[in-house]
Amino acid sequence: MARDGVILAIDQGTTGSTVVIVDSDLQVIGRATTEFPQIYPQPGWVEHDPAAIWKSVDDSLRQALAAADIAPTDVRAIGITNQRETTVVWDRATSEPVHNAIVWQCRRTTDVCRALRADGHEPLIRERTGLVPDPYFSGTKVAWILDHVDGARARAEAGELAFGTIDSYLLWRLTGGDVHATEVTNASRTLLYDIHRCAWDDELLDVLRVPRAVLPDVRSSCEVYGHTRGLDALPDGIPIAGIAGDQQAALFGQACFAPGQAKSTYGTGAFVLMNTGDTPVASTRGLLTTIAWKLGDAPTQYALEGSVFIAGAVVQWLRDELRIIDHARDIEPLARSVDDAGGVVFVPAFAGLGAPYWDPDARGALLGLTRGSGRAHIARAALEGIAHQVADVVEAMSADAERELAGLRVDGGAAANDLLLELQADLLGSSVRRPTNLETTAAGAAFLAGLAVGYFDGVEDITARWREDAHVHPRLDADARRRARSGWHDAVARLRSRDD
């Protein structure tokens, strides 16, 4: 290895926890994933058992170290990336959670968010946080726990309880309860944090009814927060040195360090983030403004974010419901068997339309079908539908930021589909680049931790170590692109539940 030791990255996700061990050349030398149960107390509610999350992390730590065949003392630093808005409240004295974690997907505080809008708080929330009142974010989840667990609100106000997103909870457990902290990207997803002043906001705390005593300290994304203590899998004294929410970690892991650079993560849905530099850009086109990262004492960097609800899930639907493919990997050769979609347009709005439309009542449709339409045309239209949705978000970002896209970097499971990347480049009119390492969230956490302890020399060092697997250039001319995009927008307009 070019440098002594390794970096260990914990990627704590919605359905499982992955631990990745990398060397200084970013080669993965050990990896393990452990899943944990999902809890659905009633329709629309989603919870996790924090103890199950911690056990999944601990199990993956042991397995990854064994797979890497290294001594735990070889670990130079630990980075954490996490499912972002999922909320935990625990007892500071015992470390025991007072309630299951409320997951980012949970909709139990819908009425609370509706009331916040009705009471006129949305402009304040949007201006201070870059977000909108929605159950997705952490703030209303904290208040729900404090209101629904006997005695919790009084104990929180007395300083006996701690709130955190999953990064905070893992940091607490890794340090044996020494450190109650979060970092700026996770704090920026709570509805409680002023992203301009980079501080908890007293007015928002009052509006959302969250006592300051329960909050973690907020740190940068790249510094030593504390050291391991009292763990079985790792020795005491290893620094925990880099933290970022999963989508911001992916942006960092993709080395999108310049304004205008963007990444799209293709999973069940698609998350698109564009670096906007050290100035937050307020969106007028249905996007979120969020903190991208903060490196030590350097200026805070910001991003625009947009979410596509259905991306890879449309391929699963073709497999499981229409049964026109047997395996997800079959969609590419089937879609390539025709030159185009034959006029078929597939808008996969199974769960409504995300950014930039935010129309939860829209529904999916196949349009333009003729007697000659076949399963290959539908398969190709499905891939085009994914790419069109991402293009919608990127175009909104470019307009809000008044900046042209400086190339799109892609990751996630569906990014392995070469045809999808070709279609994405065509519909964006911009190049699309795929890295050799598609686990960019873990890479981002490893980069941040490595920078904090001097394992990497700076972002220039990371840029030099980012490796490209594919670089796809657009082939459509401007007129053909405009026609394709116009046809898509016409199809979307037909499905909208409202005109705004």
Spatial distance between the Cα atoms of 440 and 391, rounded to a whole number of angstroms:
21
Q: Give, in degrees to the nearest 5, the angle at Cα 359 between 353 and 363.
A: 60
**Cis omega (within 30 of 0) for bond into 356:** yes
368: pLDDT confidence band, cut at 50, 70 and 90?
very high
pLDDT of residue 1 exceeding 60, the answer is: no
Kindly provide the b/e burial profile for residues 351-388, where b requires at least 16 CB atoms within 10 angstroms of the residue's own CB: ebbbbbbbbeebebebbbeeeebebbbbbbbbbbbbbb
Return the SS3 of 151.
coil
d(CA 494, CA 499): 10
Max Cα–Cα distance, the chain, nearest Å: 70
pLDDT over threshold 60, residue 213: yes
Tokens 């229409």 — which residue? 322
The bridge status of strand 16-22 relative to strand 199-200 is unpaired
Question: Contact, 286 vs 357, CB < 8 A?
Answer: yes
The whole-angstrom separation of Cα 92 and Cα 103 is 21
Give me the mean pLDDT over the 468-488 stretch: 94
**Average per-residue pLDDT in the chain?**
92
- Give pLDDT tens digits for 258-299: 999 999 999 888 999 999 999 999 988 889 999 999 998 899
Give residue 3's pLDDT: 61
Mean pLDDT of 449-459: 91
The percent of residues in the chain predicted with pLDDT above 90, rounded, is: 75
Residue with tokens 């390492």: 437
Cα 275 to the chain's mean position, in Å? 14
pLDDT (tens digit, 9 = 90+) per residue, 399-409?
A: 998 888 888 99
Residues 218 and 181 sit within 8 Å (Cβ to Cβ): yes
Q: What's the mean pLDDT in 442-468?
A: 90
Residues 108 and 401: their CA atoms lie apart, in Å, by 33
Whole-angstrom distance, CA of residue 21 vs CA of residue 450: 12
Comparing CA positions, the residue from 239, 266, 492, 487 lying closest to residue 386 is 266
Do 270 and 415 meet the contact criterion of CB atoms below 8 Å apart? no
Total length of the chain: 500
- Percent of the chain with pLDDT strictly greater than 70: 99
Confidence of residue 2 (pLDDT cuts 50, 70, 90): very low
The per-residue pLDDT for 324 is: 94
What is residue 289's predicted lDDT score, i.e. its pLDDT?
A: 93
Report the alpha-carbon distance of residue 468 to residue 409 in Å, rounded.
10
Identify which has the larger pLDDT, 452 or 350. Answer: 452
CB-CB contact of 98 with 28 (8 Å): no
Angle separating helix axes 478-495 and 418-428, nearest 10 degrees:
100
H or E element: which one contains 88?
A: strand 87-91
Residue among 26, 2, 1, 21 at smallest CA distance from 10 = 21
Q: Spell out the domains of the chain, with CATH numbers in brackets.
A: 6-247 (3.30.420.40), 255-500 (3.30.420.40)
Mean pLDDT over residues 458-483, rounded? Answer: 91
Asked if 397 and 390 count as a contact pair (C-beta separation under 8 A), the reply is no
Q: Is the pLDDT of residue 499 over 70?
A: no
Listed in sequence order, the residues at least 6 apart from 500 whose beta carbon sits closer than 8 Å to its beta carbon are none
Strands 16-22 and 6-12: antiparallel
The two tokens of residue 142 are: 């904290």
Residue-wise pLDDT tens digits, 34-74: 999 988 999 888 899 999 999 999 999 999 999 999 999 99
CA–CA separation, 155 and 2 (whole Å): 50
Residue 18 neighbours by CB under 8 Å, 6+ apart:
10, 11, 12, 31, 32, 33, 60, 439, 442
- Average pLDDT (188-202) is 96
Is the pLDDT at 359 greater than 50? The verdict is: yes
* Chain segment 160-188, per-residue pLDDT in tens: 999 999 999 999 999 999 999 999 999 99
Q: Residue 37 burial (CB < 10 Å; 0-12/13-18/19+)? A: exposed
